[in-house]
Amino acid sequence: MILFLINSAQSTWNLKLFLFHFALFFGLVFSAQAQTELYRFGQEGRRMAPFRNGFAKIIDKDNTYYIDTLGNSLILAEETPIEFNDTYAIEDYKRELAAHPQLFPKTVLKYLKDKKMGIISPKGDVLLEAEYDDIDIQFRDFWKIKRDGKVSLLFVDKTQLPFFDEIGYLDGDYFDVKQHGKWYLFSRSHNKIMTKNGYDGFDYCGGCGHRQSYLYAQKDGKWGVIDWNEHILIPFEYEHHHMGMRSDNWISSFSKGGKSLVIHIPTQKEFVDTELFMGLLIAKKNNLYGAYGQDGELKIPFEFERIELPNDNSFNGYYGEYLITTKQHKKGVVDFKGTVILPNIYDEVKVYDDYLVTKKQQITSLLNPNRQVVFKIEHGDITHVNDYFYSSGSHGLAIFKIKKRAFYGLYIPQTNTFLDPQYYHIQIFDFKNPDRQKKYLIAEKNKLFSFFDTNGQLLLSDVEGISELYHGPEHIIAFIKNGKTGLYDLDLNKEMIPAIYESIDILNLGKQDYIKANMHIPENERIDEFDTQISHLFDLKGTKVVGADIKQIDTIDSKRSLVKIRNGNKVSYLLMNLENLKDEELNYHTVYRMNSSQVLLVSEDDKIGKLYDMTSHQELKGSYSLTYVKQGYLPQNSGKETVIMPYKNGMALLHNEKGYGYINEEGRIVVAPQYVWAFDFVGNAALVCQSENSDPRALMFKMGLINKKGTIIFPLEYDLTNSRLNHQESFFLDHAVILPKVNGYDQYYGLGDLHSGKLLLPVEYTQIRSIQNGQYLLLQKNNKFGISDVQGKIIIPVELEEILFDAPSYFDTHTDTPSDIFPLLVYRNNTWRYILKNGDLLPFQLGVK
């Protein structure tokens, strides 16, 4: 409610008084006691911060550390981007634990204690006791811990390896460990060293995707290959670089005499000037290419000018064990076993999964997995329907685009369906959910679209647009035809709502979603200038829920909605039951929702209305002006007619020339209009005011509180300044209320219990403020501060010169998780100290050892 606080006719003295109270109010609300900066204490460079989440930050000249609620010190071992006791870091830490419980969290910090290092979470949980000289936390599978010059690995399950001179991670069971200057293989599952011999070093392809049966080993400066039982697979004769490592039968990272080699492990045979394709070794002999298989045997004879991967060096992807060969400038296809799939008679070959596309002279053909020609075209092209994005795969679709000149058609082998080339573009329809199982195709010509399923059945044709229905189910799509919108059901393969609407939305009513289709009203059919649109309401199957034209739908509660409908040049109203979709016709000129689940406001003339009980279907006694409900504000000059306002917490305000009163949802006037000001109920209590000469523009009011029976909880003997009329809800603290009184230019506050009507704190404080989401109250009196609980029990006497809070504790936000404010940073007797909830001082004092 917007209030006019003062007018120009007031005296200068009143204006000064008003400004004084205005400044007093805002000075109290924005108190200087809430701090986010560290307080400068004593000597330059010494600072103490309030506690947050059980820790306080301390800066003592060049040293920065934290203390816990017992006064114990916590020193961070290093500076990192992760902030200790930071809200965002704590949230990241929690997310990591929830998302990957099998891994160590990465949002952690190192701390020091007695010159030893440990690990803590950003909220202060000790994850690893400070017992180590150093800890490497770069990996999440394990942490590397160091102590007395030795190294071990710690795992998430709290097990660890023995300490060695150095440790390397191989496959999770085996580790290379160094002791006495040599490297050995250690098995975690056997908990012992497995190799008899010591080596210069090991290497392993940890990123090869699956566990290898061998590893690279160095001995006497040369590299070879051994298995996990220490059998030599390739002798120690080679140089080695950690690149091009594999997990199959080929070694491609070795060299000899500076020349790169590929070595076949089972036969130890060396190859030079070769290339590996998908596990096949492509070799060259007499300027012709052949290929060796994983067994080292020649699979493809040396008779080809070129052997290449299908679609190599292009954006197209594929699967399948195929290679394209070139012989006498003609293309063919072989598989990895060397079997000829297609002879070398083609000008061009493409591989799309198990389908092949060949081009010979002017004929392009499509071959199925049985190598049968299922379609061919002259002077045209054949590509997969997802050709442009084929690197992401075929989506399991064997559907092909047929291009003839500038036009595209479709061929679907599964149904032997052919669509003549007639479209400018054809592609898979792009749904928001990329994992959606059922796919569809969209084709465009002259900015008109056709929509097909993957069998080639035409679902929609010549439409201007197709899209998913925003917030709608997946099986419903929207389409535009002749500038109007309709809906199509993909499950039933039929139009569910015709394209006659300007827009279509999903509308939630109660516990169900409905479809709201909107249509413009022609100007010559409009009732008034605001009568521009009607809507139709459908369920998600496309069945009309309301048979009439709808002007407005208002949700009353989870079971009912108020529907305003248009009948020709008139409007009427329906009360719609959302559980059985039955309508009750309300035969009134106008009907208004009142923010109540029990009553509506009905009227025969749109001026005076009655309350209507939706359960008994009866009008309640009494008549009320509709001014506020229609216009949103009270009439300038209140008369004898009583104006009703919307309900809140089961009570509605009434207003007439006598003032404000209340009416309940049974239609009973609980409090007759009599107050200069009255406000909506907060819970079970409401604030009411009177003033001298019943002047609503007075600078000062007498304030009291009533319950829903109209009974006085606190009499009207408290003072409310005009400046706080718009902030009346700030007085309420759950079951309690702040009670103000003014004495001259001074304002004092007490605390009252709304249940019993008794004072919890006397009216003698210059400030009472809720802190820590209502857990405590900040008290101020005679420029001293103290703390009480919300029951009014004094926890810290009001004798402190200053109290320093962490900002979220002071400026309440309901999203903050409440945590205790103690120990509390306070200033008394020229000293900053931390005080405990029992009044004792924390055994910590900055600068005092």
Output the domain CATH number for residue 734: 2.40.128
Conformational region of residue 19, where left means phi above 0, alpha means psi within -120 to 50, and beta covers everything else = alpha
Q: 521 lies in a domain?
A: yes
pLDDT for 314: 52
pLDDT at 635: 87
Tell me: the pLDDT tens digits for 527-540? 777 778 999 999 99
Q: Is the pLDDT confidence value at 390 over 90?
A: no
Residue ending a domain, among 731, 765, 799, is: 765
Query: pTM above 0.85?
Result: no
Q: Is the pLDDT of residue 819 over 90?
A: no
> Which segment of 650-654, 666-670, 744-748 scores lowest on mean pLDDT?
744-748
For residues 300 and 380, membership in a common domain is answered with yes
Residue 518 corresponds to which amino acid? N
506 plus 577 within the same structural domain: yes
Kindly state whether residues 279 and 381 are assigned to the same domain: yes
578 and 684 fall within a common domain: no
In 3-state terms the chain splits into helix, strand, coil percentages (rounded to 5) of 5, 50, 40
DSSP code string of 314-332: SS----SSEEEEEETTEEE
Is 510 part of any domain?
A: yes
8 Å CB contact between 645 and 633:
no
Q: Which of 612, 613, 616, 639 minimizes the C-alpha distance to 627?
A: 639
Lowest mean pLDDT among 188-197, 362-371, 587-596, 798-807: 798-807
Residue 41 banded pLDDT, cuts 50, 70, 90? low
pLDDT in tens, 458-490: 999 999 999 999 999 999 999 999 999 999 999
Q: Considering 587, 604, 623, which residue would you say is the last residue of a domain?
A: 587
What CATH number is given to the structural domain containing 666?
A: 2.40.10
**How many CB atoms sit inside 10 A of residue 190's CB?**
10
Residues 734 and 629 in one domain: no
573 SS3 class:
strand
- Average pLDDT on 696-725 reads 96
Contacts of residues 719-724 at CB distance under 8 Å and 24 or more positions apart, as own/partner, are 719/747, 720/687, 720/689, 721/18, 721/21, 721/22, 721/24, 721/25, 721/747, 722/3, 722/5, 722/6, 722/18, 722/21, 722/697, 722/698, 723/5, 723/18, 723/21, 723/22, 723/25, 724/25
Using CA atoms, how far residue 98 sits from 92, 123, 357, in Å, is 10, 16, 49
In-domain check, residue 632: yes
Mean pLDDT of 659-674: 98
* 719 domain-assigned: yes
**Residue range 66-78, pLDDT digits in tens:** 999 999 999 999 9
Check whether residue 385 and residue 281 sit in a common domain: yes
pLDDT greater than 50 at residue 36: no
Cα distances (Å, whole numbers) of residue 218 to 215, 224, 517, 783: 10, 6, 75, 78
Q: Residue 461's pLDDT is what?
A: 97
Q: Which residue range is the domain that position 657 belongs to?
A: 592-671
pLDDT of residue 14: 39
Last residue of a domain, one of 529, 557, 587: 587
**Structural tokens at position 41:** 């204490």
Q: Which residue has the tokens 């998302």?
A: 99
Q: In the prediction, which pLDDT does 529 show?
A: 74
Partnered with residue 476 across adjacent β-strands are 489
pLDDT at site 502: 97
Task: Spell out the SS3 assignment of 273-315.
Answer: CCEEECCEEEEEECCEEEEECCCCCEEEEEEECEEECCCCCCC
Residue 157: pLDDT over 60: yes
Mean pLDDT on 9-18: 36
What is the C-alpha separation between 463 and 665, in angstroms, rounded? 52
Q: How many domains does the chain have?
A: 4
Closest CA to 426 of 398, 405, 449, 392: 449
Q: DSSP label at 629?
A: H
pLDDT of residue 528: 78
User: What is the arithmetic mean of pLDDT over 286-313?
Assistant: 91
665 and 598 belong to one structural domain? yes
In this structure, the answer to whether residues 617 and 571 fall within a common structural domain is no
The answer to the question of residue 416 being in a domain is: no
pLDDT of 22 > 70? The answer is no
Which pair of tokens denotes residue 48? 């103490």
C-alpha closest to that of 162 among 139, 183, 193: 193
Query: Pairing mode, if any, of strands 39-40 and 34-35?
Result: unpaired
Backbone angles phi, psi at 293, to 5 degrees: -90, 180
Q: Is residue 361 part of a domain?
A: yes
Q: Is 809 in contact with 771 (CB distance < 8 Å)?
A: yes
pLDDT of residue 540: 96
**Measured between alpha carbons, how far is residue 183 from residues 94, 147, 152, 197 in Å?**
39, 19, 15, 9
DSSP bridge pairs for 300: 291
Asked if residue 718 and residue 644 are part of one domain, the reply reads: no
Cβ pair 154, 167 in contact under 8 A: no
Kindly state whether residues 601 and 563 are assigned to the same domain: no
- Residue at 159 is within a domain: no
pLDDT score for 2: 28
pLDDT at position 342 over 80? yes
The pLDDT mean for the chain works out to 90
- Reported confidence tier of residue 388, pLDDT bands at 50, 70, 90: low
In a domain, 730, yes or no: yes
- 807 pLDDT band, cuts 50/70/90, is low
